[in-house]
A and B are shown apart, each in its own frame.
Chain A
Amino acid sequence: MDVVLEARQLAKAYGVGRDALQVLGGISFSVGKGEFVSIVGPSGCGKTTLLFALAGLQKASTGTVTFNGRPVTAPPRGVAVVFQDYSRSLFPWKSNRDNVAFGMVRVEGLSSVQKRDKAQEMLEAVGLQGFEDKYPWQLSGGMQQRVAIARGLASQSELLLLDEPLAAVDAQTRADMQDLLLDLAMRFKQTCILVTHDVEEAVYMADRVVVLTRRPTVVDHEIAINLGKQRDQITTREDHRFLAARHDVMMSIRSSRTAAPATAA
């Protein structure tokens, strides 16, 4: 399998000297083309720091990230992020269609009409036909996140980084959105990395789960989820392989947490 993204001994410390806080302690993993990988870890393990380093939004202290073999030092072309805070990631002065089309702002070789058509297509793919001319603030939270996902897909990125995209929506919407994301990832053969604190979500969505330790964070272990690409909210979650994987990840996160000394600094 072609490796799309690779992190090698990624470490990040905030501050210097005695006050330095070592967040990432040397993280290594890789993601292959077309894979859906979840990254999950205990609270405060630096998931967002890791995601920003993968996206090129923030420099790591040591270690490297490579995207398609090239080192990442700034946001590379071909990587899109869907942020948790959809309401502030969308632009309230643009209609939903223009928000999605803005995902192609630096895509060359497309006329503005083609970008408009593509935006329309992506809005339909996330089930928002009829809302093209509305504004994000006229939509519910889940629908706003769909617009942000449509923008990520429209940007024709090889890799989609999902930063807890469903943490702010209600439980039922979350289940629908999980299935939507899986469906889209399959349809567009999209490579995805999902960063989440929700173990069930991590296992349900992924082909492989990367489990992190507490700070200074390293990869505790990886676990392949051999449930096929087709998932179902009811039967998959009852499958003994799903339950075994969930058990494994939860145990590992619990042992990380209980091993943690009181970190009230």
Chain B
Amino acid sequence: MGAFRFMEILAWFRAIISFLIIIVIWQSIALLGLVPEKYFPSILAIAAGFRDMVISGELVSAELRTLSRALLGVASASLLGISLAVLGDLFPSFRRGFAPIAALIQPVPPAALVPMAVFMLGLGPKLYAFIVILVTVWPPYFNGVAALASVSDVQIRTGQMLGLSRWQILRQIKLPAAMPEIFAGIRYASSISLIAVVVAEMLAGHDGLGFLLIRKAFAIRIPEVYALMFVCAVNGLIMNTAVNGLRWRFAGWQLRMAGQAA
């Protein structure tokens, strides 16, 4: 396990180095005037814009709203996706009936849902819940269905020989076996969730990062726009860390197993 900790620290170290390199390149481009400063402000100008928004309080409230929407969205979408996958595993006819519906809804981009969702659900939390869940539910669902279907026959027969019922086999064998793949889906879903929230806020919101971003862009406050883009990127990291923490709890064995093989 010590080796894994070391690898993790190394990964963080590498991330910080990459980040520093990007900042250096950015600042050089800005200082050399390769791109008009109007569209490409220096790091210092972006930092000043960031500071102004923190002082005015608008950044913190927007960030809290967006992040909580995205987290709540991915959590409920994951629970729904896993439940649907379990239902599909228990009732194959449900899975077959649901497949064309899923295939039809899944490719719809979040932005395309916004106009009708606004008419039907107004501008409140229901709008966000609807849009985020509708676009985020699919990776956990599809990964769950595939993983539950591919649990080894030997494991299932072992459960049957031990006298377990179908439900017990699902609960005690198939779900734990499927967890690593489900979490790969949740990880993907968490970034989709963030995108969906920001898009919905941009198109129909009256608060949140997406709304603030549009407002700053229309006011031509370019450094602030860049600062907000940076905050969106950090949110991605926060979501990823949260999902990884849960993955350690529910599918950590697979990571330890892979760590040992490496």
A77: chain B residues within 8 A (beta carbon): 163
Task: Determine how close the nearest CB of chain A comes to the CB of B148; give it in whole angstroms.
Answer: 15
* Interface locus among B63-71, B105-113, B151-159, B199-207: B151-159
- Asked if A88 and B253 make an inter-chain contact with CB atoms under 8 angstroms apart, the answer reads no
A71: CB under 8 A from chain B? Answer: no
A138: chain B residues within 8 A (beta carbon): 260
- Asked if B154 and A105 make an inter-chain contact with CB atoms under 8 angstroms apart, the answer reads no
Chain B residue nearest in CB terms to A83: B154
B257: chain A residues within 8 A (beta carbon): 92, 135, 137
- Asked if A91 and B154 make an inter-chain contact with CB atoms under 8 angstroms apart, the answer reads no
Distance A83 CA – B177 CA, assembled complex (angstroms)? 18
Q: Given A75-B163, A106-B162, A137-B257, do A93 and B176 touch, yes or no (CB 8 Å)?
A: yes
Among all A-B residue pairs, the 6 with the closest Cβ atoms: A106-B163, A93-B253, A88-B154, A88-B152, A89-B154, A85-B154
Some 17 contacts from A to B, beta carbons below 8 A apart, are A57-B161, A75-B161, A75-B163, A79-B161, A80-B161, A81-B157, A83-B158, A85-B154, A91-B173, A93-B176, A93-B251, A93-B253, A106-B164, A135-B253, A137-B257, A137-B260, A138-B260
Q: Given A91-B173, A105-B162, A155-B162, do A57 and B254 touch, yes or no (CB 8 Å)?
A: no
A-B pair number, CB within 8 angstroms? 54
B254: chain A residues within 8 A (beta carbon): 92-93
Q: Is the interface of A mostly helix, strand, loop or mixed?
A: loop
Contacts A57-B161, A75-B163 known; list 17 others, CB within 8 Å. A75-B161, A79-B161, A80-B161, A81-B157, A83-B157, A89-B155, A89-B158, A91-B176, A92-B254, A93-B179, A93-B251, A102-B162, A105-B164, A105-B172, A135-B253, A137-B257, A137-B260
B256: CB under 8 A from chain A? Answer: yes
What 0/1 pattern do residues 158 to 186 of B give for CB contact below 8 A with A?
10111110000000110011010000000
Distance A106 CA – B257 CA, assembled complex (angstroms)? 28
What 0/1 pattern do residues 228 to 262 of B give for CB contact below 8 A with A?
00000000000000000000000101101100100
